Structure 1
């Protein structure tokens, strides 16, 4: 069986407050739709959202090659250092941590990853941002490879409503706006 025949999708949110990391990844094979999306994103940056190849160190790109796509335009010196420095390093090590355990070593050269990364413009701790991003990257790859969450898990969670770090509707509002089936 071929690992990641077309595309695998994963998501993870790690941490609290302004140093939290939110990571979405698409993992797929070279020669497929993920490669087309990877090359297109790299070749067509938009103002404030310039994708770049994730490196462990200058001239040492992570494997599988991983495209870092910022969700927030870098504003100010600390946010720029958090995005291009701490979050990039966390992503690089999180993906590398997945090699062998989650991504077969003999498949790494055949794969590509697109990672959409949120770094809060109010970030205030580069070390915490790095640690959160490393964990979020690994967990996003793990979710992609495992195909989680499963539909039954999503439906079970949905029964209690929806919530995210930026908004949680009250129970009365959830009940009031429920769709009748």
Structure 2
């Protein structure tokens, strides 16, 4: 009998770090045979210019478990950004997922039955592959934790909304919020 670990899909998000080496990861976790598998296979089979989803590997020919599709949010531009996308960010994602399994966030006995889609932000201005790896690793693990624990809660979101929205790219002024 299948475990109730993942109903239809779990969704999580995490942003870690600052500046050019920050990581923003969105994950969708679902069972093989369900809608996440359909989305996973469709994304893998239908790449677009500059956005080629690929299987995340711990090392060549050793895909991470659960099998994870890496989807870059920014097209890889220039040598360092390409090395960060296919190198440090992929390695960070693989290690973050492995960390989540080691921590029991994803039960190891479920790993072969699950799939993950990870949408990853790697800034084209990335300048430190080691910092990129550390941030991507933490963001992957934290996004999985958020998916599994259902955080933030609606109450958490409403409390944050009362303080006003903000993100690394924009914070509205009090005047704009008052309108």
Question: Do they fold alike, i.e. is TM over 0.5?
Answer: yes
Q: What is aligned with 2:176?
A: 173
Q: What is aligned with 1:112?
A: 115
Q: Return the TM-score normalized by structure 2.
A: 0.97
Structural RMSD (CA): 0.6
Q: Say how many residue pairs are matched.
A: 176
Shift of 1:23: 0.2
2:174 and 2:96 map into 1 onto residues whose CA distance is 36
Q: What is aligned with 2:29?
A: 27
1:106 and 1:130 map into 2 onto residues whose CA distance is 27
Q: What is aligned with 1:3?
A: 5
**SS of residue paired to 1:10:** strand
1:146 aligns with 2:146: no
2:72 and 2:91 map into 1 onto residues whose CA distance is 14
Q: 1:66 aligns with which of 62, 65, 68?
A: 68
Q: 2:89 aligns with which of 82, 87, 90?
A: 87
1:171 and 1:130 map into 2 onto residues whose CA distance is 36
Shift of 1:5: 1.8
Q: Deviations over 1:77-96 (max 9, x none)?
A: 00000000000000000000
Instruction: Could you tell me which runs of 5 or more consecutive residues in structure 1 were left unpaired when the two chains were aligned.
Output: 177-181
Q: What is aligned with 1:132?
A: 135
Instruction: Could you tell me which runs of 5 or more consecutive residues in structure 2 were left unpaired when the two chains were aligned.
Output: none
Runs of 4+ aligned structure 1 residues displaced above 3 Å come to none
Q: Return the TM-score normalized by structure 1.
A: 0.96
